[in-house]
Structure 1
Amino acid sequence: MDYTWFFILIGIIVVFLLIISHIKATKKLKSFIINSFGKIPNQKKYEFESIESYHRYKKANTDDFNTIDSITWDDLDMNLTFKRINTCLTSVGEEYLYDTLHQVQMKEDILLEREKLISYLEDNADDRLKLQMSLAKAGKYNYNGIASFIFDAEAKFLKHNFIYNILTIIPVLCILLAFFDTQVGILCLILSAILNGFFYYGTKTKIERELSAIKYFSSILQCLDKIFKTKNYESVPFFSELKKSYLIFKPLRTKISDILQKDFSDMAVFAEYIKIIFLIDIRNYNKAIRMISKYSNEFHTLYKSMGEIDMAICVLSFRKSLPYYCTPVFYNENSIGFEDLYHPLLSDPVPNSGKISNDSIITGSNASGKSTFIKALAINGILAQTIHTCAAKELNLRFSLMITSMAVRDNISEGDSYFIKEIKSLKRILDKVQDTACTCFVDEILKGTNTIERIAASTAVLKYLHNIDCLCITASHDIELTHILNKEYDNYHFREHITDDGIHFDYKLKQGPSQTRNAVKLLHYMNFNSQIVDAAETMVDKFINTKTW
């Protein structure tokens, strides 16, 4: 009985089902991309150790004085800001966004190029969707190792490459020998295959992480191949550099596409034996590393250009997810002007408008909004100089490095007390302002020590900063500072409204120093014992009248 047509029919059905499955998967991906664009991203768990890999390598291998340091990053909860912004579709875009948010620009050129790309993506929704589809298929791969290839590719190259070449030639000689002496030739081929198998799996185990990186690089090349087959983007910022770099590495696409490929079909198993005998994966790995090392600058350009494109789509989505936004205006004046500025992480923010033209002290009651406001200023200053986007209707500022001293904590492992950590945090600011234009944000300066020394030391530090080319904005409970520094520092405050129902805050910035107190009143509203509240109020009144306890 002839089963030929039966098998042909089965084959047709399998192909048909595969096509239908591919169409469904493509539609599902397209629907996800369309529906999630312009929405607040889900707060999933992030592997920041992986995401920060490019930034970590770059920091270790380059000198740049305009980097947001780790203290400022933590003070401002910038990991949360990153998560709020990040909708990148590739690991390259995600890593590049993380680094970009650390790297403030001191000139407008790169920011304007980013803005041109973002504008193009906004005006050409169909092109943007095609790009998103291609990028999504490259996808994300934690600990992908691409960043290590940028800065340290040469170290990944397998030494004694000639050994692998010799081991590859031996099976060929064995096959030729078999034509003259079949038994000896086959025996030699078997022994050669066993020897090469040991080398193959031994080497693969040693370079498994690097092979994974090569595999992800292959998916990047396939993604770029699809992008440049779809349309010519020569006039769009960053695409020209990306294409030039891609064309250099394009020959590697087919050589490395099946490295680490897991396929258990009969043909795939046979192909795997061939790869083992002739060490194909190992030799292709070395070819890839040699090319990446030779064209390291172009490889870095490819990474950065692809990161810019993925990040630009992400920034556009972020903008559309905000209540409103603006692009910053930069000038030489040492001030910050803002209209309806808000904190981008708040779900129901209270916007503030004004202009801080001089070093300033912001006072106010507990929980009145001082810290949130200066964080909003600092975060928007960073976003303005990195992704050219501000959570405000208008933001005018000069190019400067944002640096903070806010959320100071004890460090038991280093043996540092709270106060030691505070003065170290302040010292790095005092060092940085010597050679870089800075905007400094300090929350509750030197609160880790006694009142007399805190006021004296704070006054000295703030006067010193006033005479340096920086803009210093500090939030404090110490009303004394507003009087001592009234010639050097402007004063602003936040105020509460007290009613029979409790204490209410409007979170609006106001001119002048604070004239109200609420710490003792909060004890009352939190139902502290009346004896405690009455005693505290008596002592406060006595201190105000006599300046003594």
Structure 2
Amino acid sequence: MNSPETVYHNRISEFTKQHNSVKKRINHISNIRFIVFGLMVVVDIFLYRSGHHAAMAVCSVAAITIFIALVFYHESLYKLLNHISNLLQINGRCLDRIHDKWNNHDDTGSVFINKEHAFTSDLDIFGQNSVFQWINAANTFAGRAAIARVFSNKPDEVKVIQERQVALAELAPMVDFRQNLQAYSKNECMDRNDESILSWLESPDSLFKNNALTVMLYIFPWVINVTALSAFIFKIPGIGSLLYLISFCLSLVWRAGIMKIMNAFEKRSDILNTYSRVIELIQSEKFQSQLLHKLKEEFTGEHKESAFIVLKRLASLVAASHVRYSGVGAFVFNLLFTWDIQCVLRMERWKKHHGTSVRKWIAAIGEFEMLSTLSQIHFENADWCFPLVSKDTGEIIAKNIGHPLLWSKKRVCNDFQISGGVAVSVITGSNMSGKTTFLRTIGVNMVLAFAGAPVCAKTFCCYPVQLYTSMRIHDDLRSNVSSFYAELIRVKKIVDAIDSGEKVFFLLDELFRGTNSRDRHDGAIAVLRVLSSGGACGLISTHDLELANLEKIDSEKFRNYHFSERITETDITFDYQLQDGPSNSRNALAMIRLAGIPIV
């Protein structure tokens, strides 16, 4: 079996060939269109001068038909070229991820950043150099929101997590499906929320409520045009002109209501077509896992009509309504056909039959994008494991666990467990030894585990628990909040969660660093005793070596670990290996000296 890197290189090679081939075909069709048009002009002039008017008409119709067919074919080739270009870019970004160059990807998920969240800010879940930027393959608003949900919400039921794991294992080798799913929606606006469309589709309101009026408006353009044409034939132009004036004024009567509806669909035909293509792709696949099969069934409408056909029809109606952006075109079409009214009539009929189904269709697309995104982790990291998530264990056990965002060639993995009644693991060590990174290693892998994704470990066992962190704490001048008080607020949230009955797992980095050493020590001991007595578990990293004495006082609840370093006259090296027991090393003076600062 080829490695993921080989697969991506092979796909880039194949798509490059296809890209060049399609570009040549586009150039050929452009030349053929020019030749057809030129021949039509030359032949028509010759036939006209020869007096063969009937032949000229036949030739013109045939040439125009061929020319129009070539235009449509040309457009389809451009769409194919765009799709292949998207696939090339997708595979390039997959290689970026393998080569640790993913932090230049555009979508960082910054819209989901919430500095007040229990853990996402501290664990780099969203933003630059984040988990979202590393793995996201969703383009629709619904897909990106689904990823944000599983990365930031409380853990789902264990059964849901397990179903998601099975679905990801099935999707992982389906590279064609996953990348086509991503490529079809690649050009859509990532932040385009569909709520304006959904609000109208789900609303019971209707602009044309009277059935008799609706029927009259449907047939009105036919009546007007036949009558007006007859009036002109019988040389009564005044009547024809009056009828067209009435037709145009009729569009003005409901203009406010019409524009309100059309504004809800402002230039949305492209995204509706995207949804249609994505649903068609999903429905063309046969899935084995229960979750994927259930999601696929969401696309069967109440009238047993395929969702992709139904959405394509709505997209056509929305595209037709865009005539209003052409001043002359809007005037002529409303004059002859009451165009805006006809569009809204058909949109409201579509809404009556399918309006309440669209939200679940879009949500299902988002779920597929989320699952496809997470399945990439399994495909690209065969040595990572699906974790055992069980509500009965009440323990965290990891073998060879590492930080997912660190490149495999630089990543250092460790074994770790918190079980047997131990509530708090105290991690000591000197500066830059790896304490904070290890806290994030545990936290990020727990986030992935609760999302149903593989984790960066040989084996990993955990239980559903709400994460809370206190790591990146800053003062807030505008709110008059010091860093010390900001930490107190974070800790209070953890205590409140415990008091409310939540199962809590905490990660605390250098607790109360914003105060003096004595108060920091006393405060940290007081907080850890409150948290451990309340049933919470977690890790704390600290430079306060006296906190290691907690294990001597209560060895059942506290356990010591440490990171160390090797100091020479010219260098400091770190092995980033977690070891049992407290740290007994210090490196501040050595680092000051190596930085070139003289020590007196």
Q: TM-score, normalised by structure 1?
A: 0.80
Q: Deviations over 1:346-398 (max 9, x none)?
A: 22221111222221111110111100000110110111011332011111111
Instruction: Find the aligned partners of 1:484 and 1:309 in 2 and give their Cα distance.
Output: 48
| Residues 178, 372 of structure 2: 8 Å contact kept | no
Change in CA separation of 1:343 and 1:206 when aligned onto 2, cut-off 3 Å: same
Q: Superposition pairs for residues 119-198 of structure 1, below 5 Å?
A: 119-123=169-173, 125=174, 128-130=175-177, 132-134=179-181, 136-139=183-186, 140-146=188-194, 161-162=208-209, 169=216, 172=221, 178=228, 183-184=238-239, 186-194=241-249, 196=251
Instruction: Find the aligned partners of 1:414 and 1:465 in 2 and give their Cα distance.
Output: 28
1:342 aligns with 2:411: no
Amino acid at match of 1:237: L
Q: Superposition pairs for residues 15-164 of structure 1, below 5 Å?
A: 17-18=74-75, 20-33=77-90, 36-37=93-94, 40=97, 41=102, 43-46=104-107, 48=109, 52=112, 70-79=117-126, 80-123=130-173, 125=174, 128-130=175-177, 132-134=179-181, 136-139=183-186, 140-146=188-194, 161-162=208-209
Instruction: Find the aligned partners of 2:288 and 2:382 in 1 and give their Cα distance.
Output: 34
Equivalent in the alignment of 1:59: none
Change in CA separation of 1:255 and 1:11 when aligned onto 2, cut-off 3 Å: closer
| Residues 336, 397 of structure 1: 8 Å contact kept | yes
Change in CA separation of 1:161 and 1:415 when aligned onto 2, cut-off 3 Å: farther
Instruction: Find the aligned partners of 1:500 and 1:310 in 2 and give their Cα distance.
Output: 53
Paired-residue identity, %: 20
Q: Deviations over 1:489-510 (max 9, x none)?
A: 1111111110122211111111
| Residues 335, 471 of structure 1: 8 Å contact kept | no
Instruction: Find the aligned partners of 1:157 and 1:325 in 2 and give their Cα distance.
Output: 50
Change in CA separation of 1:372 and 1:346 when aligned onto 2, cut-off 3 Å: same
Amino acid at match of 2:403: H
Instruction: Find the aligned partners of 2:94 and 2:480 in 1 and give their Cα distance.
Output: 47
The counterpart of 2:280, out of the listed 225, 230, 236, is: 225
Amino acid at match of 1:468: G
Larger radius of gyration: 2
Instruction: Find the aligned partners of 1:527 and 1:18 in 2 and give their Cα distance.
Output: 65
Residue 409 of structure 1, CA deviation? 0.8
The SS at the match of 1:349 is coil
1:466 aligns with 2:532: yes
Equivalent in the alignment of 1:421: 486
Q: Superposition pairs for residues 395-544 of structure 1, below 5 Å?
A: 395-434=460-499, 435-484=501-550, 486=552, 487=554, 488-531=557-600
Equivalent in the alignment of 1:62: none
The SS at the match of 2:426 is strand
The counterpart of 2:393, out of the listed 333, 338, 347, is: 333
Change in CA separation of 1:227 and 1:360 when aligned onto 2, cut-off 3 Å: closer
1:259 aligns with 2:318: yes
Unaligned stretches of 5+ residues in structure 1:
57-67, 532-549
**Relative CO higher for 1 or 2, CA cutoff 8 Å, sep ≥ 6?**
1
Query: Is the deviation greater in 456-465 or in 327-336?
Result: 327-336
The SS at the match of 2:397 is strand
Instruction: Find the aligned partners of 2:268 and 2:212 in 1 and give their Cα distance.
Output: 23
Residue 433 of structure 1, CA deviation? 1.9
Amino acid at match of 1:504: T
Equivalent in the alignment of 1:307: 366
Query: Is the deviation greater in 168-177 or in 240-249?
Result: 168-177
Residue 414 of structure 1, CA deviation? 1.8
1:375 aligns with 2:440: yes
The counterpart of 1:363, out of the listed 428, 431, 440, is: 428
The SS at the match of 2:104 is coil
Instruction: Find the aligned partners of 2:478 and 2:353 in 1 and give their Cα distance.
Output: 44
Instruction: Find the aligned partners of 2:260 and 2:441 in 1 and give their Cα distance.
Output: 49
Amino acid at match of 2:380: S
Amino acid at match of 1:223: V
Residue 237 of structure 1, CA deviation? 2.8
Unaligned stretches of 5+ residues in structure 2:
1-46, 48-55
Instruction: Find the aligned partners of 1:177 and 1:193 in 2 and give their Cα distance.
Output: 15
Corresponding pairs, count:
509
Residue 78 of structure 1, CA deviation? 0.8
Q: Deviations over 1:523-545 (max 9, x none)?
A: 111121222xxxxxxxxxxxxxx
Q: Superposition pairs for residues 278-289 of structure 1, below 5 Å?
A: 278-286=340-348
Q: Deviations over 1:262-285 (max 9, x none)?
A: 689999877687676442444455
| Residues 327, 390 of structure 1: 8 Å contact kept | yes
The CA RMSD over aligned residues, in Å, is 3.8
| Residues 492, 511 of structure 1: 8 Å contact kept | yes
The SS at the match of 2:530 is helix
The SS at the match of 2:400 is strand
Q: TM-score, normalised by structure 2?
A: 0.74
| Residues 145, 209 of structure 1: 8 Å contact kept | no
